[in-house]
A = this chain, B = another copy of it.
Amino acid sequence: MNATDFRKLLHAKSYKATPSRLAMLALLSRVTKPLSVPDIRKRLGGKHYDQATVYRTLLMLKKMGIVKQIDFQHGMSYYELSARGDHHHVICTTCERIEDVQECCVVGMDSLVLQQSGFAEITQHSLEFFGICKRCKA
């Protein structure tokens, strides 16, 4: 995904392709870990973007299904591209360590959830594991 793709993505839903949006999409697709709002603002090059803008953009991207909001129980939300694929996280409750979990057992669960619930559509899911990493255990 390059800048041109991002423009198309936004235009497809008649959103404007503004510098802040393109920068955020570029950042999120370049990165391999979920980012918090402060993370995003720090890493958005030299440019300063207002926090309200970042929050508003994330909300928009979330509604579009492009980003996923994740809770590490660290007092704020983290965000990553849905396009990064179906993976999960392990969070150390002692330090701040976070690792990806590649195996996804949730594939196929969506239809099961639809069956047994009063829901018409599943758009996302999030699976996080909490525990203690080896370093903290020692």
Q: Which stretch in A32-40, A46-54, A116-124 binds the other chain?
A: A116-124
With CB as the reference atom, state the residue of chain B lying closest to A93.
B123
Q: Given A105-B105, A105-B109, A112-B103, decide whether A131 and B120 contact each other with a Cβ distance below 8 A.
A: yes
A126→B123 contact, CB < 8 A? no
Across the interface, A119 reaches (CB within 8 A) one of B69, B92, B106, B117, namely: B92
Size band of the interface chain A makes with B: 35 or more
A106 to B119 CA separation, bound complex (whole angstroms): 21
Across the interface, A113 reaches (CB within 8 A) one of B69, B125, B129, B136, namely: B129
A47 to B33 CA separation, bound complex (whole angstroms): 45
With CB as the reference atom, state the residue of chain B lying closest to A125.
B129
- Residues on the B chain within 8 Å of A131, using CB: 113, 119-124
A120 to B90 CA separation, bound complex (whole angstroms): 11
A112 to B102 CA separation, bound complex (whole angstroms): 10
- Kindly state whether residue A66 has any CB partner on chain B within 8 Å: no
List, sorted by A's number, 9 A–B pairs whose CB atoms are closer than 8 Å.
A90-B113, A92-B119, A101-B113, A103-B109, A103-B116, A105-B105, A106-B106, A122-B129, A125-B127
